[in-house]
């Protein structure tokens, strides 16, 4: 199947990703594989800029690409495009939410004990700058742990350490809920309405297979109007030339990154379109099913994975994770190790196949 034929079969999706011709790439939890179409789109923008320069039409093109990408992210989130902000990464979006709240000393931020530095950084900043307290509890108990001082619950939708899932009870809590969706968006079925959260921060470079420096933030209109926005400029003001009287966009654009390049936007958009053409439900189902199969096979081989949910991450024990990661890489199998734990983590996407999984399992030291 050619690179630009419609993608229907898993083999057609797989053929979009040149890296898979060489290696069993199981590392989308860090950075997803880049598709040929995404790279071509980025190159085309740069060629246009080379040939035409970067004047009015260039800025209109950036706007057109932003609009397209916002729509594409909204489809992956089950959301309205008006509630989506285009960011540079998950971390940026989480910072907007945490630091946008009117937090005072004594206010509590409730989180779990398996969070990524991208979220912990924002919580630590709120503790240092606003005097808020941060309480860490097990992820599975987080919904019941909300107390009278809790102003925000902030935790992973899918935990990065072992692929655990946030509890469904979070939909019922009465304070705002921010989900770190770095390992959720594009990987599993994300429907922000069903999740009952108030904000969902996602990465572009992971399960959407976009470039580094891409991400999105979904916010409910109710939460958005409560969040202060300290960074203002051309990107998020209605009429930037109104000087000091300029007002922020009411919709998700108020948290847009101040400057995103045409090549990055085009790369992100083409990357998402490849997955959309295969179909989001089909991509989610296939990734989760392949990951479950890998977990079973690892257990049969005496490498029982860490407790996980129905996600696309599989973490399994290794005596020397850094050394085994390097050994696997030298044999063409790409996974990562988890800092501070005796675990390797495989990230399984719809672009992978049984052959990738067999190559991983077959390469493990026994
Ligand atoms: C759960 C989680 N949160 C946040 C991040 C940081 O993502 P980003 O680089 O998009 O800010 C990661 C990256 O690995 C992650 O796994």
* pLDDT, tens digit, 9 for 90 and up, residues 141-181: 999 999 999 999 999 999 999 999 999 999 999 999 999 99
Nearest CA to ligand 1 atom 6: 118
Confidence label for 6 from pLDDT (cuts 50, 70 and 90) = confident
69: exposed, middle or buried (Cβ count in 10 Å: 0-12, 13-18, 19+) = buried
Our answer on whether the CB atom of 347 is closer than 6 Å to any ligand 1 atom is: no
CATH number of the domain located at residue range(s) 49-276 in this protein: 3.40.640.10
On the question of pLDDT at 2 being above 60, the answer is no
Q: Return d(Cα 134, Cα 70) in angstroms, integer.
A: 32
Ligand 1 centroid, distance to 252 Cα (angstroms): 21
Confidence label for 5 from pLDDT (cuts 50, 70 and 90) = low
Confidence label for 4 from pLDDT (cuts 50, 70 and 90) = low
Residue 8: its pLDDT value, please? Answer: 82
On the question of pLDDT at 195 being above 90, the answer is yes
Question: pLDDT tens for residues 219-252?
Answer: 999 999 999 999 999 999 999 999 999 999 999 9
Ligand 1 centroid, distance to 262 Cα (angstroms): 23
Q: Return d(Cα 282, Cα 351) in angstroms, integer.
A: 11
Which atom, in ligand 1's list, is nearest to the CA of 215? Answer: 10
> In percent, how much of the chain has pLDDT > 90?
97
Confidence label for 327 from pLDDT (cuts 50, 70 and 90) = very high
Which atom, in ligand 1's list, is nearest to the CA of 159? Answer: 1
Residue 65: its pLDDT value, please? Answer: 98
On the question of pLDDT at 204 being above 60, the answer is yes
Confidence label for 7 from pLDDT (cuts 50, 70 and 90) = confident
- Looking at the chain, which residues constitute the CATH 3.40.640.10 domain(s)? 49-276
- Looking at the chain, which residues constitute the CATH 3.90.1150.10 domain(s)? 10-30+279-363
Our answer on whether the CB atom of 186 is closer than 6 Å to any ligand 1 atom is: no
- CATH 3.40.190.80 matches 10-30+279-363: no
Ligand 1 centroid, distance to 274 Cα (angstroms): 22
pLDDT, averaged across the chain: 97
Ligand 1 centroid, distance to 203 Cα (angstroms): 7
pTM score: 0.97
On the question of pLDDT at 3 being above 60, the answer is no
**Among 91, 112, 202, 257, which is best to mutate for testing ligand 1, by the most ligand atoms less than 8 A from CB?**
91
Residue 1: its pLDDT value, please? Answer: 42
């Amino acid at each position: 199947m050619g690179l630009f034929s419609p993608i229907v079969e898993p083999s057609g999706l797989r053929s979009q990703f040149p890296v898979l011709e060489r290696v069993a790439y199981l590392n989308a939890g860090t950075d997803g594989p880049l598709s040929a179409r995404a790279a071509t789109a980025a190159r085309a923008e740069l060629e246009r800029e080379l040939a035409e320069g970067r004047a009015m039409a260039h800025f209109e093109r950036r706007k057109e690409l932003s609009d397209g990408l916002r729509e594409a992210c909204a489809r992956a989130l089950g959301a309205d495009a008006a509630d989506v902000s285009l960011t540079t990464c998950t971390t940026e979006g989480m910072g907007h939410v945490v630091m946008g709240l009117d937090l005072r000393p004594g206010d509590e931020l409730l989180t779990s004990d398996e969070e990524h530095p991208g979220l912990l950084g924002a919580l630590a900043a709120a503790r240092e700058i606003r005097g808020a307290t941060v309480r860490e509890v097990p992820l599975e108990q987080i919904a019941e742990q909300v107390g009278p001082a809790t102003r925000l619950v902030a935790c992973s939708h899918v935990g990065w350490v072992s692929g655990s899932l946030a509890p469904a009870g979070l939909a019922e809590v009465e304070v705002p809920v921010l989900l770190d969706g770095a390992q959720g968006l594009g990987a599993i079925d994300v429907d922000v309405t069903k999740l009952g959260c108030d904000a969902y921060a996602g990465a572009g470079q992971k399960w959407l297979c976009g470039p580094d420096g891409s991400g999105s933030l979904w916010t409910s209109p109710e939460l958005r109007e409560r969040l202060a926005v300290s960074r203002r400029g051309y990107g998020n003001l209605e009429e930037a030339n109104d000087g000091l009287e300029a007002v922020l966009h009411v919709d998700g654009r108020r948290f847009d990154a101040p400057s995103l390049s045409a090549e990055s936007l085009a790369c992100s958009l083409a990357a998402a379109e490849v997955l959309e053409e295969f179909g989001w439900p089909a991509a989610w189902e296939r990734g989760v099913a392949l990951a479950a199969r890998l977990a079973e096979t690892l257990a049969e081989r005496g490498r029982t994975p860490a407790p996980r949910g129905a996600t696309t991450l599989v973490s399994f024990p290794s005596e020397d994770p850094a050394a085994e990661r390097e050994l696997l890489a030298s044999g063409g199998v790409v996974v990562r190790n988890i800092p501070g734990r005796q675990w390797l983590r495989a990230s399984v996407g719809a672009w992978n196949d049984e052959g990738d999984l067999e190559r991983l399992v077959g390469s493990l030291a026994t």
